[in-house]
Amino acid sequence: MKLGAFSVSLNVKDIEASKKFYETLGFTVSVGDQKMNYLIMKNGSTLIGLFQGMFEGNILTFNPGWDENATTLQEFEDIRVIQRKLKAGGIKLEIEADEKATGPASLTIMDPDGNVILLDQHI
């Protein structure tokens, strides 16, 4: 199963303070809008999303169809294909993608320890 680009989406209290902290660690802003309370920061191929007030806890995020530069991959598994594989494997979906739709969609699952995993396809 090809899940696409991986990042950790962090629920932050103060996006400016978090941005400065991660810049000290060598991360730079890749995409996002601080005025909209989200930034995606990059260090090499490592991605961290900073999100203020958008969700609770931290989330492991995969983006089917994208590489770590948010560049569209020529070939990738559509999120609905991944969803069918997860269901066939006995994984409970917390939020499901619409099987009848095409293009952008997302789904959410939890690992055995309650960590949220988001698959978020933008294309």
29-80, pLDDT tens digit by residue? 999 999 999 999 999 999 999 999 999 999 999 999 999 998 999 999 999 9
Q: Strands 46-52 and 5-12, how do they pair?
A: parallel
Every domain of the chain and the residues it spans: 5-121
pTM over 0.75: yes
Among the residues of the chain, which ranges form H helices? 15-24, 79-88
CATH number of this structure's domain 5-121, picked from the four choices 3.10.180.10, 3.40.430.10, 3.20.20.140, 1.10.10.10? 3.10.180.10
Burial letters for 20-29: b for 16+ Cβ neighbours within 10 Å, e otherwise? eebeeeebee
Helix (H) or strand (E) holding 121: strand 116-121
Cα–Cα distances in angstroms (integers) from residue 93 to residues 6, 13, 38, 39, in the given order? 19, 28, 25, 27
